Amino acid sequence: MGPIFMDHHSTTPVDPRVLQEMLPYFTERFGNAASKNHSFGREAEKGVDHARGQIARLIHCDPSEIIFTSGGTESNNIALKGIAETYREKGHCHIITAVTEHKAILDTAKRLEKMGFAVTYLPVDSDGLVNPADVLTAITPRTVLISIMMANNEIGTIQPIAEIGKIAKDAGIFFHSDAAQAMGKIPVDVQEMGIDLLSLSAHKMYGPKGIGALYVRRKNPKVSLTPLFDGGGHERGFRSGTLNVPGIVGFGKACEVCEREMPEESARIEHLRDTLKATLFRGLSGIFLNGHPTKRLPNNLNISFAYIEGEALMIDMPEIALSSGSACTTGSLEPSYVLRALGISNEMAYSAIRIGLGRFNTEEEVEYAGGRIIASVNKLREMSPLK
């Protein structure tokens, strides 16, 4: 059997229903959504407005609060740098985040530090959870933004976002969350969670690559942002540039499908995940689950296999697409900084693989993958000098 894709944290295939929705906007409805003086532009704008509404419904906000970007990385950059630049003159130059954030947050925070901003990097416990009490303790009179991801891209741990949102609200501090991994897998409500800015990415939820969005709250409180670059003033002036209409339409359709099917789909994928986990733990000794045992994305498994290296395991199973860490850090010889932050040893961090199940995985694939992983681990352990 093969090839089998089980790396859905890195990306997802475009759902055929999404593709069908996009196709007319490459050919028949190809207008520029900013060209409102003729029917071609107005038709494109109509598609964009419809998609804005589809996305807004999934996160419970007003459609006008959705700002289109090129993806989650750009959304994170706009959120952090935009807030920092806007409120710097008022003396608000301190940001709070966590050590296990995606590099799109951590590297942006490092850039802001070079520009004179202070950044507090909160620790996590052995399951990858941020302690809300640590957030409260880290707040200073200069704090302008708290940025904590909703669900981790490596270990799947889901953070106590609503608790942190309340702390931010009570302190009068803006709250941003990177929800690229969470969207379409767990319910997201920016009102109930107290979120002021939310980063989204279409290709993590069966939409196209190269399109994302940033939710920017318009009232209670109103969020002001300095744009990263200047141009025609598109997207409320926050993100200039000709809109990627086919991508936006696809993003909207992907959100519509998720809104309708997420409860049933997440339950099905969680069942597949738990079946695979049970198979592996029943068939092997010396394996360890990384991340929270229950507060985790329904499709995520991150497991360390003693006495072998995760890279060697993946090489031995070329027909199954897995990951030994975040796709954005592939090529690095360092162990996963996320796993190290949990207190996991270098040896066990190197032995970890990340399994991300998805919409189109089957029971047969999960059964095959379980048997294949067990056989490969046993084979590599027989060869390993570490054992």
Report the run of H or E that residue 95 belongs to, with start and end. Answer: strand 94-98
Give residue 333's pLDDT: 67
Q: Do 245 and 339 fall into the same domain? A: no
Q: Provide the domain limits for residue 358.
A: 4-11+262-383
Report how far Cα 65 is from the mean position of its chain's Cα atoms.
Answer: 19
Q: Do 231 and 126 fall into the same domain? A: yes
Quick one: tokens of 385?
């000098």
Q: Do 221 and 270 fall into the same domain? A: no
Q: Do 238 and 314 fall into the same domain? A: no
Q: Do 190 and 288 fall into the same domain? A: no
Q: Do 159 and 176 fall into the same domain? A: yes
**DSSP label at residue 116:** T
Give residue 75's pLDDT: 98
Calculated CA dihedral for residues 337, 338, 342, 348, nearest 10 degrees? -70
Q: Do 251 and 325 fall into the same domain? A: no
Start-to-end Cα distance in the chain: 30
Q: Print pLDDT tens along the chain (387 aa).
A: 779 999 999 999 999 999 999 999 999 999 988 888 998 889 989 999 999 999 999 999 999 999 999 999 999 999 999 999 999 877 779 999 999 999 999 999 999 999 999 999 999 999 999 999 999 999 999 999 999 999 999 999 999 999 999 999 999 999 999 999 999 999 999 999 999 999 999 999 999 999 999 999 999 999 999 988 888 888 887 898 999 999 999 999 999 999 999 999 999 999 999 999 999 999 999 999 999 999 999 999 999 999 999 999 999 999 999 998 544 445 556 889 999 999 999 999 999 999 999 999 999 999 999 999 999 999 999 987 766
Last residue in a domain, options 213, 236, 256: 256
Tell me which residue of 51, 328, 355 sits closest to 212, measured CA to CA. 51
Last residue in a domain, options 256, 286, 318: 256
Domain containing 348 — which CATH number? 3.90.1150.10
Report how far Cα 243 is from the mean position of its chain's Cα atoms.
Answer: 22
Q: Do 247 and 163 fall into the same domain? A: yes
**What are the DSSP E strand ranges found in 189-343?**
197-201, 212-216, 287-289, 300-305, 320-321
Active site positions, annotated: 328
Supply the pTM of this predicted model.
0.95
Domain containing 187 — which CATH number? 3.40.640.10
Give residue 233's pLDDT: 81
User: What is the DSSP pairing of strand 197-201 with strand 212-216?
Assistant: antiparallel
Q: Do 157 and 187 fall into the same domain? A: yes
Last residue in a domain, options 256, 279, 309: 256
Q: Do 142 and 165 fall into the same domain? A: yes
Q: Do 229 and 333 fall into the same domain? A: no
CB neighbour class for 353 (10 Å; exposed up to 12, middle 13-18, buried from 19): buried
Q: Do 362 and 248 fall into the same domain? A: no
CB 372 within 8 A of CB 2: no
Structural domains of the chain, count: 2
Give residue 232's pLDDT: 83
Question: CA 243 to CA 233: how far, in whole Å?
Answer: 12
